[in-house]
């Protein structure tokens, strides 16, 4: 994960979900740059961060292919 403050509540919620669900969120994300070129979903690079907003966890990071910033809401 990136060198940013860890949102412990977001991390706790994230870890409470089954691994399969977490992997789906990480490997089925939207990168506008890559989607324009390939029309396929993208994956997060390993240095993503988790943030909590209300009852949702948001994954923020970079595309593993092109490095563009991207985010995914997980609820």
What residues does each domain of the chain span? Answer: 8-74
Instruction: Specify the pTM.
Output: 0.83
* Separation of alpha carbons 56 and 46, rounded Å: 20
Using H for helix, E for strand and C for coil, what is the string for the chain? Answer: CCCCCCCHHHHHHHHHCCHHHHHHHHHCECCHHHHHHHCCCECECCCCEEEEECCEEEEEEEECCCCCEEEEEEC
CB-facing half-sphere around the CA of 37: CA atoms within 13 A: 6
Per-residue pLDDT of 2-20, as tens digits, reads 456 679 999 999 999 999 9
CA distance 58 to 52: 6
Each residue's pLDDT tens digit, 27-51: 999 898 888 887 778 899 999 999 9
């Amino acid at each position: 994960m990136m060198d940013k403050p860890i949102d412990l509540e977001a991390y706790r919620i994230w870890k409470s979900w089954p691994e399969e669900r977490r992997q789906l969120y990480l490997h089925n994300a939207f990168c506008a740059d890559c989607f324009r070129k390939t029309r396929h979903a993208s994956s997060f690079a390993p240095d993503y961060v988790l943030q909590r907003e209300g009852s949702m966890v948001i994954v923020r990071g970079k595309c593993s292919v092109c490095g563009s910033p991207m985010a995914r809401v997980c609820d």
